[in-house]
Amino acid sequence: MDKLAEPSAETPKPAGIAEAVKRLLGMRETGLIAIILVLFVVMSFASPYFLTWVNMRAMAMAFAVEGIVVVGMTILLISGGIDLSVGSVTALAMVIAGLLFLAGVDPWTASAVSILACTGIGAVMGFFVTRIGLHHFIVSLAVMVIARGACLLGTGGRPLGLYTLPPEFKFIGQGAIGVIPVVIVIFLVVVVAFDFMLRRTTLFRKVFYTGSNEKAAAYSGIRTKKVVFLTTTLCSALCGVAGVIYMARFGSAQPTFGIGMELNVIAAAVIGGASLKGGSGTIFGAILGAILLSVVSSSLALLDVSVYWQDIIRGSILLTAVTVDHFINKKRQQAA
Amino acid sequence: MDKLAEPSAETPKPAGIAEAVKRLLGMRETGLIAIILVLFVVMSFASPYFLTWVNMRAMAMAFAVEGIVVVGMTILLISGGIDLSVGSVTALAMVIAGLLFLAGVDPWTASAVSILACTGIGAVMGFFVTRIGLHHFIVSLAVMVIARGACLLGTGGRPLGLYTLPPEFKFIGQGAIGVIPVVIVIFLVVVVAFDFMLRRTTLFRKVFYTGSNEKAAAYSGIRTKKVVFLTTTLCSALCGVAGVIYMARFGSAQPTFGIGMELNVIAAAVIGGASLKGGSGTIFGAILGAILLSVVSSSLALLDVSVYWQDIIRGSILLTAVTVDHFINKKRQQAA
Amino acid sequence: ESKFQCEPGETYIMNVMVSAHPYWVPVYQGFKQAAEAMGCETIFSGTPDYDITKQIASFEQDLVKQPAGVLLHPMQSDPFIEPIDRAIDSGIEVVTFAADSPKSKRSAYITSDNLAEARFAAEEIVKQIGDSAEYAVLENPGQSNHDLRVTALISYMEQHYPNMKLVGRQATNQDSNAAYRATASILQANPNLGALWIPEAGSAEGAVAAVLEAKADVLIMHADVTPTTLEHIKAGNIHMALNPNQGMQGFMGFVATFMAAHSDMFDPFNDYKVSGYNPMQIPFVDNGFAVITKDNAESFDLNAYMQGRDPN
Amino acid sequence: MEQTPILKIDKVSKSFGPVQALRSVDFDLLPGEIHAIAGENGAGKSTLMNIIDGILQPDEGRIFFRGEAVEIASPAVAQRLGIGFVHQEIALCPDVSVAENICMGATATSRSLLMDYKDIDTRARAALRELSDISPAALVRDLSISQQQLVEIAKALTLDCQVLILDEPTAALTEKEAQILFGIMRRLADRGISIIYISHRMVEIFENCDRVSVFRDGQYITTRDVADITPSDVVAAMVGRVIDTLYPDKQAAHERSDEVILEIRDLTEAARFRNVSFDLRRGEILGLAGLIGAGRSEIARGICRLEGKVTGEVRLNGKPIDIRHYRDSIDQGIVYLSEDRKGDGVFLDMSIASNIAALAVEQVATRLGIVDDSREADQAVRLGQSLGLKCGHIRQPASALSGGNQQKVAIAKMLSVGPKVIFLDEPTRGVDVGAKAEIHRILRDLARQGVGIFVISSELPELIGLCDRVLVLREGEISGEVTGDAMTEENIMYLASIEQEREQTA
Ligand SMILES: Nc1ncnc2c1ncn2[C@@H]1O[C@H](COP(=O)(O)OP(=O)(O)OP(=O)(O)O)[C@@H](O)[C@H]1O
Ligand SMILES: Nc1ncnc2c1ncn2[C@@H]1O[C@H](COP(=O)(O)OP(=O)(O)OP(=O)(O)O)[C@@H](O)[C@H]1O
Ligand SMILES: [Mg+2]
Ligand SMILES: [Mg+2]
């Protein structure tokens, strides 16, 4: 007690399996992993189709692109912000890229411009939050409405058919490398990259400082406004990326895409341990949260549960899962 | 500055017009009132129909019932909570009361039972938040899904036609006392009562203390968990009231009613000065926020603005309004 | 040799989005009735959400179960091209209904003719209030069949009745409170409004409330029906509703899917053997629509219809 | 004199995970006595008080109140028993007026349905009257830390209590307010109210208290009448060894140099201070004294560009420097230690190591900007050890530390960048005697190595003992400077409050 010691779980030492298990048990995400595993075991008994490659692929495809948005949202939440506009901005990304493509721009350029435009939207939100001093909630709510309006205006409310997208471009959304769909590869790259950066780089460390105690961060010489500006912009930029991938995947741009997505995405991050007050959260956890939500939805569909029961069961599983996770986590912290 | 004033303009003293104007200018809500006034002036030039009694009445009817939910949400926000389930719980209130009525229960009893059931839902959320220690966001998200599921299950997804509701009951939703619709009378009673209570009763002052600094409140002997339990329950109970009034008003119970209502309601409270971090907010301000949102929507419809432009304009006005309000408020605080 | 009968265990799936929506209920009843007549199993599937990724996932999960065919309501046309084609390549036939994916290899499409509905509504309005009056529409941008009902009516009026004046066009997105607000405003701005066309029933409920409150004399017509609008039709507050023939949609949908899966019954006079496509191709089946008025409203009570029937 | 104690603690233990904060502690409090508790940082003082107030529950042991065993399940129960508590870490509601904060306890137990704002105002005024001229209508969020501390005290005074606990109430107060507080304590004690007084300032204990109990490492050591012992006895009992010199040697005459490190000219910020000019010389420790609200913190924060719009010139080593943001200031080697430890000094939910690294994460990262955990840990261990930081391990969150140890984390953070000039605002607030001596010694060493040290402190003995020269600030203007033998409490107080003296004589 009197000496300054490092905790055991930090510096990786070649200490064998016991050590590895102990470290795993010490992680914030352990509870969530356990819950998902239980769900997998139950489901593979409940349905012979569950543990098939095709089903796994379908489930993964269902959350992979949204998972990219979850990454952006998690980082934003850690910095103390929130973004309700993710659904509309993702749709707007599809619409902008789609309109440019239909106007004759090649799809790669169109995508780049679209992602840039979304980044710009994020920058505008960042401006209102950091310079004017408004709350993220209200700014992103306004932008959510405006971006949806822009989608409708740009398309006249009708989906854009982009059947003529070249196959190299569609490959992003529909192709596969070996048996692994490209979408999932991109998703994994984004997740691994940002997970690493968030845990290890000085830049993203400042995101934690800012979200944990903005004033203390400012008193540590961190330009907290820049940090928040950055995370706000990044989240929209990742919506842009997601939108472009969706376009390649669906071969169309839908002005009504992503309605209600924000709650799903925020829920995933929060289930995964991100705090709505800022200062804590992990990409890994948030993705597990997204997986949990997605697996529950997919399982109910697979089991042919009556639609009238599905929402009730889904909500109850969500509540049970966060409760169980909460207790596991409490136990873990007491043990530490 | 040196005398202890009650929160915002309180005890009216016969102090002359100058004093009254000064007090008005000192209020948190002044900026919002100014913005709404400007909107009214602009609109009455833009459309000859705007400043008519019938239009005013229609605009008031359009937000009065939702306004009751805004009251509950504001109090909950002040205590540091949030509730995403308001839309589904309002719908569930309609469905429960509707089903009971169709089963032969008299509509008053059916309504009372339904409001009680909603109160129970709030109590369950309160339990999960205060006893288990989960976050309001995630609990109310789960309940939002469950309550919607219950609506679907109860009705098979089909709206219930309640055309046979007795006229005395429909009077709540469709009647008028003199020229004032009953709905608006109920709304005003709820608003005035809770505004008064929130400012003047010991019980509701504890809501502010709890939201401002839960620890400090607890150290002062306030049972903060009880307070949060209460505000969570109250918000759902008011959703129940709103649901029953909607039923009387539309003569039907719609299982899909109120989707997306939560964002609207939270936005109203936040525009009106409630903090998402808890500890501050007023009913008066929140209602002004609701009025602002509603007047903008009604005005755009009155001017027959193209649908595709409406969202863009609406979002932009929202953003402009909160920005202007922010600056007015800053000025006011500097002047004080 | 094939008959119009299923093998034991042969299963057909009907897949939709927003699966709790009451619209699907009579459709699925029709689907089931045809299936029972032909000794087949059915499953109702899809996603409760308005979310295309979830619907695609549920469709792909349907495929895992190796059904003989899927009757699909694709939420968007193009995103379903690849999944539908993949299903057909793996031997599972797909027929679309109420919304199409025309560029896919689906073998048939069953739907109400929204253009016909719009034409009918336009003629009825003109018949009731004359050909030089004011009318308004509520709409739900982004949902194709609702869009079509509105845009087709407007262009039909422009073409055939140039003196009909469109004075209001508001998005209410099936939300009755939004419809109440929009209608109230339209009534304010246009005291001479003669008729209101609404492409779905949810908005109609709010619109009626506004019209009644304003004591305005406005002819309301809408598509689809709910118990509340039905009562309003009986009471004369709503003039008329046009309801797609959902039962026929489901029944024909099943038959078409079955036929696509049993195309070996059929040897048509064309090149299918050389080209290798499914000979069972029907570009478009119109399931028709019913006109609901005061006189026949009794027959359109869904709750009465569903008495004693299993929704699943 | 055999009295029955009003409060008796019997073999109470408490642990937080692996940390045993209290081990079978005994303690008793007599009616009408002022009972001091002394102990190093992390000795368990606040933990015991939190148990008495019902905020924490003991793992073992019993509490007797007026001879009866009681279970104090919550602060509400404690209040009903008549226990009032001024917390070490300020716990007020920022969005609520001073008056409502002060009367919050009464509101919590009030049976009346309606708020009686007039009564609240009257009572708040009464409680504040002697302490300060803070407006009861002001929002707490607009107050400085010391003002908040006064509100916290006023709040406890309104309670009709039998036992009043004061956990380091004077840490952020100046002599003047502290003396007022002691007067009030005396009067309460005379009325038979028992007071537990926690402080790291020996002088206060010996001037104002009747008995003193000493804790060490979560254990109860002893209780003695103050009259029977000396401060060094208490310190020896606390630390387990004798600390001979509380303050390090001052700058010797031959060390004195005219070389100026930091030159401040005509520093002005409209509302808060005017025309502040001074030089900070190589090797010296410069102090800044003043009353609460004189603007001392503002000057330091203004120089570092942490707040306000300041005009004037700043020269570092003779060269004018242009600081736009605190980051520039840090890059130039000028750092500031905040007086509000909890509000802006530490990141409570982040690890100790990350806290210490916050000022320059780049230092513990590779050139590519990848944080190196082991370097971060090494830095924390190194700086922590040099300051005598006491903690389980450096990956614990800062919230698990005792108040004084959090302060050490904040100081370690400053030192991590190897600064040229350090502004310290109440640097030893809440730090125990031993650690304080250690911090003083470190500051002196740094000064000798050429670092410019600028200390703001409300504790005059600290300024006098530590500094080579003290500037005195009065209402935003420098009213004088004292050095050498002229550095006495009387002189400083005189310069800090001339205006008031004049007003009084006039
Ligand atoms: N919430 C907590 N979690 C873990 N450990 C804690 C917690 N609170 C206190 N401790 C530990 O308990 C011990 C006693 O802390 P306490 O705050 O009682 O000390 P203290 O005597 O008041 O010190 P100081 O003079 O610095 O205020 C310390 O080792 C501290 O780290
Ligand atoms: N955020 C703020 N808003 C309004 N007034 C403030 C704020 N911060 C400080 N003040 C006021 O500015 C004056 C100077 O405060 P400052 O903190 O510099 O004083 P100080 O000499 O450091 O005294 P202490 O820190 O002991 O209160 C005080 O009257 C204080 O109330
Ligand atoms: Mg302490
Ligand atoms: Mg200060």
CA of A36 vs chain B CAs: smallest distance (Å): 17
Output the pLDDT for position C47.
Answer: 86
Query: Smallest Cβ distance to C169: which of B61, B156, B307?
Result: B307
| CA–CA gap between residue D295 and residue D305 (Å, rounded) | 15
pLDDT digits (tens, 9 = 90+) for D319-360: 998 888 899 999 999 999 998 888 888 999 899 999 999 998
A137 shares contact with chain D (CB less than 8 Å): no
Q: Are residues D67 and D140 part of one domain? A: yes
pLDDT in tens, chain A (336 residues): 444 544 444 444 445 677 777 666 667 788 889 999 999 999 999 888 888 888 888 888 888 999 999 999 999 999 999 999 999 999 999 999 999 999 999 999 999 999 999 999 999 999 999 999 999 999 999 999 999 999 999 988 888 888 889 999 999 988 899 889 999 999 999 999 999 999 899 999 999 999 999 999 999 999 999 999 999 999 999 999 999 999 999 888 988 899 889 999 999 999 998 988 888 899 999 999 999 998 888 888 888 888 888 889 989 999 998 898 888 888 777 665
Query: Smallest Cβ distance to B209: which of D55, D104, D155?
Result: D104
Q: Would you say D123 and D106 are in contact if contact means Cβ atoms under 8 Å apart?
A: yes
Output the pLDDT for position B25.
Answer: 66
pLDDT digits (tens, 9 = 90+) for B203-236: 999 999 999 999 999 999 899 999 999 999 999 9
> For residue C296, how far is its CA from the centre of ligand 2 (angstroms)?
79
User: D358 and A209: CB-CB below 8 Å?
Assistant: yes
pLDDT digits (tens, 9 = 90+) for C253-269: 999 999 999 988 888 88
pLDDT at D506 over 50: no
A304 shares contact with chain D (CB less than 8 Å): no
Tell the residue nearest (CA) to atom 3 of ligand 1.
D400
- Most confident among B14-18, C238-242, D431-435 (mean pLDDT): C238-242
pLDDT at D291 over 80: yes
Q: What are phi and psi of D277, to 5 degrees?
A: -130, 135
Q: Would you say B47 and B296 are in contact if contact means Cβ atoms under 8 Å apart?
A: no
| CA–CA gap between residue A121 and residue A229 (Å, rounded) | 11
pLDDT at B270 over 80: yes
Instruction: Return the partners of chain B (3 or more C-beta pairs < 8 Å).
Output: A, C, D
Average pLDDT along chain D? 88
Domain boundaries of chain B, sorted by first residue: 69-325
User: D359 and A220: CB-CB below 8 Å?
Assistant: yes
Which residues of chain B have a CB within 8 Å of the CB of A315?
142-147, 149
D98 lines ligand 2 (CB under 6 A): no
For residue A296, what are its two tokens?
A: 């529950």
Q: Would you say B270 and B276 are in contact if contact means Cβ atoms under 8 Å apart?
A: yes
Query: Smallest Cβ distance to A159: which of C46, C65, C76?
Result: C76
For residue D458, what are its two tokens?
A: 């409300």
Q: What is the DSSP letter of B159?
A: P
Output the pLDDT for position D255.
Answer: 73
Which residues of chain A have a CB within 8 Å of the CB of D326?
218-219, 221
Q: Are residues D401 and D326 part of one domain? A: no
| CA–CA gap between residue D458 and residue D442 (Å, rounded) | 20
| CA–CA gap between residue A295 and residue A314 (Å, rounded) | 10
Output the pLDDT for position B188.
Answer: 95
Q: Name the residue in chain A with its Cα closest to that of C55.
A: A62
Place of tokens 């539309």: B250
pLDDT at D29 over 90: yes
| CA–CA gap between residue A310 and residue D469 (Å, rounded) | 75
CA distances from D452 to A14, A112, A179, D281 (A): 46, 52, 65, 7
C45 shares contact with chain A (CB less than 8 Å): yes
Q: What are phi and psi of D194, to 5 degrees?
A: -95, 140
Average pLDDT over every residue of D220-230: 91
CA of A235 vs chain B CAs: smallest distance (Å): 20
Ligand nearest to the backbone CA of D215: 1
CA distances from A232 to A85, B271, B277 (A): 11, 21, 19
D276 lines ligand 2 (CB under 6 A): no
Q: Are residues D286 and D143 part of one domain? A: no
CA distances from D323 to C83, D278, D303, D399, D450 (A): 61, 18, 8, 33, 22
| CA–CA gap between residue D120 and residue D155 (Å, rounded) | 11
Average pLDDT along chain C? 90
Domain count, chain D: 3
Residue by residue, DSSP assigns A267-296 as HHHHHTT--TTSS---HHHHHHHHHHHHHH
Q: For a substitution probing ligand 2, which of D144, D148, D152, D492 has the most ligand atoms within 8 Å of its CB? A: D144
Tell the residue nearest (CA) to atom 18 of ligand 1.
D44
Sheet holding D219-225, edge to edge: D83-86, D163-167, D194-198, D34-39, D211-216, D219-225
* Among candidate residues D390, D417, D444, the one where a domain is terminated: D417
Output the pLDDT for position C264.
Answer: 85
Which residues of chain D have a CB within 8 Å of the CB of B211?
95
| Phi-psi region at C60: left, alpha or beta (left = phi > 0; alpha = psi -120 to 50) | alpha
- pLDDT class of B11 with cuts at 50, 70, 90: very low
- pLDDT class of B303 with cuts at 50, 70, 90: confident
Average pLDDT over every residue of C289-301: 92
Q: Would you say D370 and D425 are in contact if contact means Cβ atoms under 8 Å apart?
A: no
D290 lines ligand 2 (CB under 6 A): yes
Which of the pair, B71 or B49, is modelled with greater confidence?
B71
| CA–CA gap between residue A36 and residue A39 (Å, rounded) | 5
* Binding-face residues of C in 250-289 toward B, CB within 8 A: none
Output the pLDDT for position B164.
Answer: 87
> For residue D144, how far is its CA from the centre of ligand 4 (angstroms)?
7
Any idea of the CA torsion for C16, C17, C23, C28, to the nearest 10 degrees? 20
Which residues face D28 on adjacent strands? D8
Q: Count CB-CB contacts under 10 A for residue A219.
A: 28
CA of B309 vs chain A CAs: smallest distance (Å): 6
Output the pLDDT for position D27.
Answer: 93
Q: Are residues D250 and D324 part of one domain? A: yes
* Binding-face residues of B in 15-74 toward C, CB within 8 A: 47, 49-50, 52, 54-55, 58-59, 61-62, 65-66
Output the pLDDT for position B24.
Answer: 66
CA distances from A3 to B209, D19, D385, D431 (A): 40, 12, 8, 19
Q: For a substitution probing ligand 1, which of D14, D47, D50, D198 has the most ligand atoms within 8 Å of its CB? A: D47
From the list B258, B280, B260, B259, the residue with the least C-alpha distance to B269 is B280
Give the list of residues 6+ apart from residue D296 with CB closer than 8 angstroms, or none: D288, D289, D290, D425, D456, D473
CA of A63 vs chain D CAs: smallest distance (Å): 30
Positive or negative, the CA dihedral D396, D400, D404, D406 is positive
Output the pLDDT for position C84.
Answer: 94
Q: Would you say C188 and B52 are in contact if contact means Cβ atoms under 8 Å apart?
A: yes
Q: Which atom of ligand 1 is nearest to the CA of D168?
A: 27
> For residue A227, how far is its CA from the centre of ligand 4 (angstroms)?
28
Average pLDDT over every residue of B117-133: 97
User: D76 and B222: CB-CB below 8 Å?
Assistant: yes
Q: Count CB-CB contacts under 10 A for residue A156.
A: 14
Which site among D87, D109, D115, D119 would you substitute to test the B interface, given the most B Cβ atoms closer than 10 Å to its Cβ?
Answer: D115
**What's A69-325's CATH class?**
mainly alpha
User: B319 and A139: CB-CB below 8 Å?
Assistant: yes
> For residue D43, how far is its CA from the centre of ligand 3 (angstroms)?
8
Q: Name the residue in chain A with its Cα closest to that of D357.
A: A220
Indicate whether this complex's ipTM tops 0.95. Answer: no
Query: Is D241 exposed, middle or buried, given 0-12, 13-18 or 19+ CB atoms closer than 10 A?
Result: exposed
Which of the pair, C271 or B17, is modelled with greater confidence?
C271
Q: Are residues D249 and D234 part of one domain? A: no
Residue D386: domain span: 345-417
pLDDT at C302 over 90: no
Q: Is residue D1 part of a domain?
A: no
| CA–CA gap between residue D465 and residue D470 (Å, rounded) | 11
pLDDT digits (tens, 9 = 90+) for D397-427: 998 888 888 989 999 999 999 999 999 998 8
D296 lines ligand 2 (CB under 6 A): yes
Place of tokens 């009197």: A2
